[in-house]
Amino acid sequence: MSLTEELQEIEEQLQNTLVQIEKLKLVAESLEDQNKILREKLSTERIRGEGFESLSQLYDEGYHICHDYFAQRREEPCLFCLSFLYEEGYNADVNPSSEKDK
């Protein structure tokens, strides 16, 4: 094989390698985009989950979390508070006699 033929073969290999690199770059860009979307979604869910946990804890401690009476002490279950909590999947015992005395 002559030197010219060897150089042409190396050139073809390099061109094939460049094509593969371009394909890999497209895959990497797609994965980075997906990663960004998933990180944003995870962050949003984490923040929402932490906020909900705080509100449900306040309710469990005997405080209103509804708009009208927010942070005021409650003596019995509040339908407004509970409607919000149940929408979010909260499960509480609504029997006033079972609430903690604080």
Q: Where are the domains of the chain?
A: 3-98
CA distance 63 to 54: 11
One-letter amino acid at 75 equals E
- pLDDT for res 93: 55
What's the pTM value of the predicted model, to 2 decimals? 0.49
- Alpha-carbon separation of residue 45 from 53, 75, 85, 102 (angstroms): 12, 32, 16, 32
pLDDT in tens, 64-94: 999 889 999 999 999 999 998 888 776 655 4
